[in-house]
């Protein structure tokens, strides 16, 4: 079987797929208050197109998919799509990243889908006012209730916390405290300028090292061996049920072991988070491409995967990164 190996010898086995560019929240670090310009519905990949792309990728060795957005649960039929994807016998894991504001009623169904093992819930503050200010919507209670239910569910729960200078850095250790009694992996993410307007002026640069030092100021942490392709560096804390991790998304020290490709909701293939899209799969499919042609295309596209995010960014044609993460699929 041909598999997806890039020109640096990295085996690609993970695809992140944004199922929509729409979202019910307006997080300050992700998009402007008025939202982003969403694409017409027929520009989005259909579920059948997504299924077909994922099937072909799994025939090339991909065995994990992360579904994201926008907010995946905003798209009608998303839970049915999860069921459909579960029928792909070559797929081992279906992971989901969600803001959690619409999923409480679906938790039981998700638990029944055996390949849905990991849920990443985005929650940037444990204080209702702050949370609602960050997301510009009044959904803290719903998201918090969902977090508690997910923690009790059979799925693994990770919390994504974007560390925002001057906004939620005082809560870093409150999140760490949550892991004492809850079996949750809290992951702090360096803020990136993917917000619809570019780099925002910040008081202090909360990078990996600064976040770690903040945690160490209160907790004694031990780094744990993570999977080679993990996006986070992970730590355990004595007597804590859960764990913490830091995702150096902006300082990009983890690119060497990257095993991922991305597809936007409009079918743009991205071989790196920081590139500006290298191929439009939607048009290729709609022009009648066969599965064999798709396979050949993927095999050649991964050979162009840049060595790291800095090179990808330097190669961009559309200028500095500024697009909203909701169009990329974070």
Q: Which residue ranges make up the site for ligand SF4 (CB under 6 A)?
A: 23, 25-27, 30-31, 69-71, 99, 122, 325-326
Name the residue nearer to ligand SF4 (CB basis): 18 or 116: 18
Name the residue nearer to ligand SF4 (CB basis): 30 or 215: 30
Name the residue nearer to ligand SAM (CB basis): 276 or 293: 276
- CB neighbours (10 Å) of residue 100? 25
Residues written for the chain: 330
Q: Does 36 bind ligand SAM (CB under 6 A)?
A: no
Tokens of 35: 């939202």
* Inter-CA distances, 187 with 55, 111, 146, 162, Å: 30, 22, 18, 8
Q: Does 254 bind ligand SAM (CB under 6 A)?
A: no
- CB neighbours (10 Å) of residue 304? 15
Count residues binding ligand SAM (CB under 6 A): 21
Q: Does 162 bind ligand SAM (CB under 6 A)?
A: yes
- What is the x/- site pattern for ligand SAM, positions 42-81, by CB under 6 A? --------------------------xx-x----------
CA 322 to chain centre: 17
Torsion of CA 239, 228, 264, 199, to 10 degrees: 70
Which entry of ligand SAM, ligand SF4, none binds 194, CB below 5 to 8 A by partner kind? ligand SAM
Three-class secondary structure of residue 293 per DSSP: helix
Residue of 42, 222, 83, 249 lying closest to 161 (CA atoms)? 249
Q: Does 99 bind ligand SAM (CB under 6 A)?
A: yes
Interface residues with ligand SAM (CB under 6 A)?
Answer: 23, 29-30, 68-69, 71, 97-99, 122, 160, 162, 189, 191-192, 194-195, 249, 325-326, 330
């Amino acid at each position: 079987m041909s598999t997806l190996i890039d020109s640096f010898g990295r085996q690609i086995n993970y695809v992140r797929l944004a199922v929509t560019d729409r979202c019910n929240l307006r997080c300050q670090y992700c998009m402007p208050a008025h939202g982003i310009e969403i694409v017409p519905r027929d520009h989005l990949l259909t579920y059948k197109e997504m299924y077909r792309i994922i099937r072909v990728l799994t025939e090339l060795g991909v065995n994990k998919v992360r579904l994201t957005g926008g907010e995946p649960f905003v798209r009608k039929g998303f839970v049915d799509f999860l069921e459909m994807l579960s029928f792909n016998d070559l797929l081992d894991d279906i992971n989901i990243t969600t803001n959690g504001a619409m999923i409480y009623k679906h938790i039981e169904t998700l638990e029944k889908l055996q390949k849905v093992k990991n849920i990443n819930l985005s929650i940037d503050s444990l204080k209702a006012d702050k949370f609602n200010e960050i997301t510009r919507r009044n959904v803290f209670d719903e998201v918090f209730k969902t977090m508690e239910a997910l923690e009790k569910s059979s799925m693994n729960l990770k919390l994504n916390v974007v560390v925002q200078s001057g906004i939620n850095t005082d809560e870093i250790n409150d999140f760490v405290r949550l892991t004492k009694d809850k079996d949750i992996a809290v992951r702090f993410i360096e803020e990136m300028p993917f917000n619809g307007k570019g780099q925002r002026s910040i008081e202090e640069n909360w990078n990996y090292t600064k976040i770690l030092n903040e945690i160490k100021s209160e907790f004694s942490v031990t780094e744990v061996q993570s999977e080679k392709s993990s996006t986070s560096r992970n730590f355990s804390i004595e007597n804590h049920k859960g764990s913490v991790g830091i995702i150096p998304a902006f300082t990009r020290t983890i690119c060497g072991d990257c095993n991922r490709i991305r597809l936007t909701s409009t079918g743009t293939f991205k071989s790196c988070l920081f590139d500006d899209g290298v191929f439009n799969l939607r048009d290729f499919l709609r022009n009648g491409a066969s599965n064999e042609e798709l396979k050949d295309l993927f095999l050649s596209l991964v050979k162009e995967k840049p060595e790291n995010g800095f090179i990808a960014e330097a190669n961009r044609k559309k200028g500095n990164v500024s697009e909203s993460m909701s169009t990329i699929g974070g």
